[in-house]
Chains A and B, each alone.
Chain A
Amino acid sequence: MGPVQAGAVVLAQQPVEPPPIEYAAIAPVLLMLTAACVGVIVEAFLPRHQRWSVQVGLSLLTLVVAGVALGAYARGAGTGLTTLAGTIAVDTPTLFLWGTLLALGFASILLIADRSVEQGGAFVAESDASSGSSGLGASSGLSASSGPARGATADSSAPSPTMTRATAGVSGMRTEVFPLAMFSLSGMMVFCAANDLLTMFIALEVLSLPLYLLCGLAKRRRLLSQEAAVKYFLLGAFASAFFLYGLALLYGYSGSVKLAAISEATAGSDRSDTLLFAGIGLLVVGLLFKASVGPFHAWTPDVYHGAPTAVTGFMAACTKVAAFGAILRVLQVALEASSWEWHYVLWTVAVLSMLIGVVLGLTQTDIKRMIAYSSIAHAGFLLVGAIALTDRGLSGTLFYLLAYGFTTVAVFGVISLVRTSEGEATHLSGWAGLAKRSPLVAAVFTFLLLALAGIPMTSGFMGKFYVFSAAVTDGMVPLVVIALVASAAAAFFYLRVIVLMYFNEPAADGPTVSVPGAFTTAAITLGVVVTLLLGVLPTLAWNWANVGGFVS
């Protein structure tokens, strides 16, 4: 009889023992959340001209301190533990993912903080009046959401000039982006450590809501940016509903939201399998949406395109890490016993994702959209590793996430440098002959694209190698063959950009390459160095990724 009536029982008036909390283990998350809250206070009380430097300093310092706390804890950590009444699992994959998120967050904050590439920063400025209505939230143009949806961002249709001219503000940028990014990062960290579905859902919302806002804060191409934000919000809410519905069904099936309890229930029971499979399906849809996998990817190109480039980098790198962290945990901890049923379904999803990403990526004419499709294809590759339910699959996927994240952040860093007077020159035609004008930027971008294509001596190759070899070991040879064909085909559209940069004549009125400020330089350098280092000495990260699995 259980679940329905149990919920109705009123607690008896006896003292409740507070659950023990391992503060050392969750210190990085606590630090991040605290810093985000402090960031809000800073927004509320500091005068405008001080906010930027304080926020940047606070964010970067917190990331470093959280990293140090993480490292100090990881040094003495055992195989892992669960804390906060079993809602958070701090195990080796969690620590690896947290480390990855903090490092990628650091690089992303550097990109976001840059104010020299785009004068005053790439984000919408504070409007000068402190009037209530426009001082808070999206300042204008909300009608873009409720107005007749135009096909404005259909592939290859360039935004009309009137939209690009719709820039706002005087100088400086909205410094709320920093606490928002910090909140989002905290949510991501909880998301991939969540040991029950409800915590996972809360974390999902905490990571998503700030992202929706961040997407809409571009200084240039305001309407495109806001359209992206609203699309992301609507579809994200839709996906959250899927997740929630799946959660409810799984709760109905197993009587608990804890991953371990669901696993137990699936292992041997005579309960209704309909609830289980429908629940798994819906839950997985919600997760796959966040990871921009397969047929649940539709938002990705538009949002990557419209969002400010720094935010796109943040989203592409960190969200993917968090989402796949959660997917890995759900699949390996909760659903392993029922893997026979969902294995081929996700197998097909992985193939679809690779195909969609590769095929549609071939004909893109906008570099940000191209990278978006590339990320869909990469999500397919990652899923290959994730459904190999072995330790090698787990560690391979973790390594892949780290490698892909750093490459992607650096890619978007470079994209933000190539500009015309109208803003970033994301149309591919603008990249023609770039090597002649700016050989260094072209060389760096070439290297990063090769990493995305998975050429040896880059981290991308090692990541693919680990993931695919794990899948082969797990007996998924046909899938790996498809994945290899897909990565070969994907190499085409990366190489196309390289050819464009090196073997075409630059257009007379083409874009110029801005001299990057210290922040962007640091972020790109970080990404490139890690990409190279992991390609040459993959054991650095592999040894860490390859110890121990999930606890629950």
Chain B
Amino acid sequence: MTTSFLAAEPVRAAAGVLQSNAWVLIALPLLGAAVLLLVGRRGNAWGHVLGCATVLAAFGYGLALFASALGDPHPVRDLYLFSWIPVNALQVDFGLRLDPLSLVFVLLITGVGSLIHIYSIGYMAHDQQGRTGGANTERRRFFGYLNLFVAAMLVLVLGNGFVTLYLGWEGVGLASYLLIGFWQRRRTAGAAATKAFVMNRIGDVGLALAIFLLFAKLGTTQYTEVFARADELSSGVLLAITLLLLLGACGKSGQVPLQAWLPDAMEGPTPVSALIHAATMVTAGVYLIARANPLYTLSEGGQLAVTIVGAVTLLVGCVIGCAYDDIKKVLAYSTVSQIGYMILAVGLGPAGYALGIMHLLTHGFFKAGLFLGAGSVMHGMNDEVDMRRYGGLYRYMPITFVTFALGYLALIGFPFLSGYYSKDAIIEAAFGQGSWQGWVFGGAAALGAGLTAFYMTRLVLMTFFGPRRWENLTTADGEKYHPHESPAVMTVPMILLAVGSVGAGAFFTFGERLVGYLTPALGELEEGHAGVLPHVLIPVLTVGLSALGALAAWLFVGRRRVEVARPQRVSPVVRAARADLYGNAINRALVVRPTDGLARGLVTVDSRGVDGAVDGLAGFLGAASHGLRRWQSGFVRSYALSMFTGGVLLVAAMLAVGMP
């Protein structure tokens, strides 16, 4: 491993009006959230407009910032804002890090965020949930949470220290909790929100411990100083820090073993799924590892752990994705698996950081497009999510179909669409590792590509092709399905995202635009060593495997009749996949049970031991009180006597102590 970029770009102070006012980026959505959540009913009429306007304005500002920084010879800038936690040795400044990495994320978050905001205007227009507040109250609240989410996410990626990142990290956790549980009336939504929150907490503990460790060993938590002095850390400490950071990343990004919350989080409204899963929240883990790249580069053990997590997750996600019938859950597991790719990429070290970010960006486009497409389908199908009840929908919602199909092709790595460039590059880099690692990780990544093609083709076939199974069915409320195309406010964002799905990969790749742009933040991209497979062979292999997967899907799903009822007699593999590969069961056994047991034990200790002692003491004091209050007789003479006695005793004690 090279350490060449440790001395990479020196960090300079922010310059220029645009950069020194970059806090506006965060302030805008934060202000929007504050106004929307505090103004009450009066904001119902214009709440959604404000919500969109703040994010769009932030996007505009981000674009301007990005454009102005393009020609900058020193693109890594720090903007000091104020001293945040000045406590003795712990000096935490609040500031912003403006460099290619953070700016790319800013554009992704605000750009995709804007589209999702606009889409939500249409999607949430009729949301009432049987509340008295009316549709607009709910929508205003929803936009408030969305703005809060965007603001927190921006703090996360813009912060110039680990503590600032942690602030955003927790803010994102809170906002996602509120959004996933947005439909409060549903028990499942509440449970999903709690699950997401709790599992995120497990990751957060890792992140917090990593920060504590950094402070304990280096006495600082600001990026500049930590990275400059990373080589002072012993290898054991580095390993511990990198593993703890990885735990944090696993929680936020839904990686094994903390992946179980992500599919459940589909209980939220679909724009939330798109926002959280496709574009932003789950990428936080990737961002964290990419940001902490100087630490990972120094720790081979840490890198290996990251790659293992990434490889396992991408396979787990694929396998489970094959088994689900719920369109959003399939997409959710698809996300889990794609994030696995990104984690795998950033785990490869300097050979992969930029690739991980590139896949993150392209994935942001096509996964957001897919989610919005799924939302559009559900919108037209009375919120039905079971793909077995779909079929032949391409006629009824052509725009949705086309955009969805483009996203699908991009995802499975159809040549020259976005996914082709970003995913293949990762697979190639994985094979580029020497020895057994190249075979294992490259093989896993390639196998994942095949599986991805299978489950995505299955999804598209079941949804848009085949017989119209919904014709003979009714909804849970007994109504007929009337599939229809969604309004323009929903389709336009989908079209824009589809354009991105098609062109983004090529745009980023030609002339190594993105990789070159990110170099100041992430270091030079290293070409793979002599890999275990020849370079030429890898794209062929990948495309071939994908084609095979798609073909298999057509053979098993497209040609056969799809039963409306879920087949129960299935092989053990499918059963395991349907059970999330027992992810929840493992969680229950490893985390929930012990915690429950501990809590129960503590309750026993509390009710027997502590309560017993307290009750006993209380009883004793009460009895003493009843006895003593007789002394308070109301007679002034007895009061005087008590004072006199006290005085005599006090003087006597004084004399006794003082006179030897």
Interface stretch of the complex, out of B77-85, B346-354, B619-627: B619-627
Q: How far is A176 from B653 in the complex, measured between Cα atoms in Å?
A: 44
Interface string of B639-660 (1 = CB under 8 A from A): 1101111110111011101110
Would you call B640 and A151 a contact (CB within 8 A)?
no
Given contacts A282-B647, A298-B643, is CB(A277)–CB(B654) below 8 Å?
A: yes
A314 contacts the other chain (CB 8 A): no
A477 contacts the other chain (CB 8 A): no
Choose among B632, B636, B646 the residue that contacts A296 (Cβ–Cβ < 8 A).
B646
* A window 221-264: CB within 8 A of B: 230-231, 234-235, 238-239, 242
In the complex, chain A residues whose CB is within 8 Å of the CB of B659: 273-274, 277
A23 contacts the other chain (CB 8 A): no
B640 nearest in chain A by CB position: A238
Would you call B646 and A285 a contact (CB within 8 A)?
yes
In the complex, chain A residues whose CB is within 8 Å of the CB of B132: none
In the complex, chain B residues whose CB is within 8 Å of the CB of A282: 647, 651
In the complex, chain B residues whose CB is within 8 Å of the CB of A363: 622, 625-626, 629
Given contacts A235-B639, A277-B659, is CB(A155)–CB(B647) below 8 Å?
A: no
A238 nearest in chain B by CB position: B640
Q: How far is A488 from B479 in the complex, measured between Cα atoms in Å?
A: 62
B86 contacts the other chain (CB 8 A): no
Interface string of A484-508 (1 = CB under 8 A from B): 0000010010000000000000000
B653 nearest in chain A by CB position: A345
Choose among A156, A235, A278 the residue that contacts B636 (Cβ–Cβ < 8 A).
A235
Q: How far is A156 from B633 in the complex, measured between Cα atoms in Å?
A: 11
Would you call A154 and B633 a contact (CB within 8 A)?
yes
Would you call B643 and A238 a contact (CB within 8 A)?
yes
B634 contacts the other chain (CB 8 A): yes
B560 contacts the other chain (CB 8 A): no
Would you call B625 and A289 a contact (CB within 8 A)?
no
Interface stretch of the complex, out of A72-80, A186-194, A352-360, A401-409: A352-360
Would you call B628 and A150 a contact (CB within 8 A)?
no
Would you call B654 and A280 a contact (CB within 8 A)?
yes
Choose among A234, A273, A344, A362 the residue that contacts B622 (Cβ–Cβ < 8 A).
A362
A152 contacts the other chain (CB 8 A): yes
Please give the distance in Å from B586's CB to the nearest CB on chain A.
39
Would you call B634 and A152 a contact (CB within 8 A)?
yes
Interface string of B276-300 (1 = CB under 8 A from A): 0000000000000000000000000
In the complex, chain A residues whose CB is within 8 Å of the CB of B632: 154-155, 298, 301-302, 360
Would you call A349 and B639 a contact (CB within 8 A)?
no
Q: How far is A378 from B649 in the complex, measured between Cα atoms in Å?
A: 22
B34 contacts the other chain (CB 8 A): no
Q: How far is A276 from B633 in the complex, measured between Cα atoms in Å?
A: 34
A308 contacts the other chain (CB 8 A): no
Choose among B629, B637, B657 the residue that contacts A149 (Cβ–Cβ < 8 A).
B637
Would you call B633 and A299 a contact (CB within 8 A)?
no
In the complex, chain A residues whose CB is within 8 Å of the CB of B653: 281, 345, 348
Q: How far is A282 from B650 in the complex, measured between Cα atoms in Å?
A: 8
A341 contacts the other chain (CB 8 A): yes
Would you call A296 and B643 a contact (CB within 8 A)?
yes
What's the count of A-B pairs with C-beta under 8 Å?
A: 117
In the complex, chain A residues whose CB is within 8 Å of the CB of B638: 298
Q: How far is A414 from B443 in the complex, measured between Cα atoms in Å?
A: 75
* A window 336-350: CB within 8 A of B: 338, 341-342, 344-345, 348-349
Which residue, of A273, A278, A299, A345, has the highest number of chain B Cβ atoms within 10 A? A345
B635 contacts the other chain (CB 8 A): yes
Would you call B646 and A294 a contact (CB within 8 A)?
yes
A299 nearest in chain B by CB position: B639
A153 contacts the other chain (CB 8 A): yes
B631 nearest in chain A by CB position: A298
Would you call A153 and B643 a contact (CB within 8 A)?
no
Q: How many residues of A contact B (CB 8 A)?
A: 50
Q: How far is A192 from B449 in the complex, measured between Cα atoms in Å?
A: 84
Would you call A153 and B634 a contact (CB within 8 A)?
yes
Would you call A285 and B617 a contact (CB within 8 A)?
no
Would you call A285 and B650 a contact (CB within 8 A)?
yes
In the complex, chain B residues whose CB is within 8 Å of the CB of A338: 658
Q: How far is A518 from B633 in the complex, measured between Cα atoms in Å?
A: 39
Q: How far is A302 from B651 in the complex, measured between Cα atoms in Å?
A: 26
Would you call A345 and B654 a contact (CB within 8 A)?
yes
Q: How far is A153 from B629 in the complex, measured between Cα atoms in Å?
A: 12
Q: How far is A338 from B658 in the complex, measured between Cα atoms in Å?
A: 9
Q: How far is A153 from B625 in the complex, measured between Cα atoms in Å?
A: 17
Given contacts A273-B659, A359-B621, is CB(A342)–CB(B654) below 8 Å?
A: yes
Please give the distance in Å from A242's CB to the nearest CB on chain B.
6
Would you call B643 and A151 a contact (CB within 8 A)?
no
Would you call A274 and B625 a contact (CB within 8 A)?
no
Q: How far is A360 from B627 in the complex, measured between Cα atoms in Å?
A: 9
Would you call B636 and A285 a contact (CB within 8 A)?
no
In the complex, chain B residues whose CB is within 8 Å of the CB of A316: none
* A window 177-199: CB within 8 A of B: none
Interface string of A299-333 (1 = CB under 8 A from B): 10110000000000000000000000000000000
Would you call A231 and B639 a contact (CB within 8 A)?
yes
* B window 220-262: CB within 8 A of A: none
In the complex, chain B residues whose CB is within 8 Å of the CB of A154: 632-634
Please give the distance in Å from A267's CB to the nearest CB on chain B.
15
Choose among A239, A301, A345, A356 the residue that contacts B650 (Cβ–Cβ < 8 A).
A345
* A window 112-154: CB within 8 A of B: 149-154
Would you call A284 and B633 a contact (CB within 8 A)?
no
A295 contacts the other chain (CB 8 A): yes
Would you call A151 and B633 a contact (CB within 8 A)?
yes
Please give the distance in Å from B657's CB to the nearest CB on chain A.
5
Would you call A281 and B633 a contact (CB within 8 A)?
no
Q: How far is A255 from B640 in the complex, measured between Cα atoms in Å?
A: 31
Would you call B647 and A274 a contact (CB within 8 A)?
no
Given contacts A235-B640, A285-B646, is CB(A273)–CB(B658) below 8 Å?
A: yes
Would you call A281 and B624 a contact (CB within 8 A)?
no
Please give the distance in Å from B655's CB to the nearest CB on chain A.
5
Please give the distance in Å from A338's CB to the nearest CB on chain B.
8
Given contacts A277-B658, A362-B625, is CB(A492)–CB(B636) below 8 Å?
A: no
Q: How far is A278 from B645 in the complex, measured between Cα atoms in Å?
A: 14
B618 contacts the other chain (CB 8 A): yes
Q: How far is A263 from B622 in the complex, measured between Cα atoms in Å?
A: 44
* B window 602-629: CB within 8 A of A: 617-618, 621-622, 624-626, 628-629
A237 nearest in chain B by CB position: B640
A-B contact pairs, 8 of them (CB 8 A): A149-B634, A238-B644, A276-B658, A281-B654, A344-B657, A349-B650, A360-B628, A363-B626
Interface of A with B (CB < 8 Å)? 149-157, 230-231, 234-235, 238-239, 242, 273-274, 276-278, 280-282, 284-285, 289, 294-296, 298-299, 301-302, 338, 341-342, 344-345, 348-349, 356, 358-363, 489, 492
Interface of B with A (CB < 8 Å)? 617-618, 621-622, 624-626, 628-629, 631-640, 642-647, 649-651, 653-655, 657-659
Among all A-B residue pairs, the 5 with the closest Cβ atoms: A281-B651, A295-B646, A298-B639, A341-B658, A363-B625
- Besides A235-B643, A281-B655, 15 more A-B contacts (Cβ < 8 Å) are A149-B635, A151-B635, A156-B629, A231-B636, A242-B647, A281-B653, A282-B647, A285-B643, A298-B642, A298-B643, A338-B658, A356-B628, A360-B628, A360-B629, A363-B625
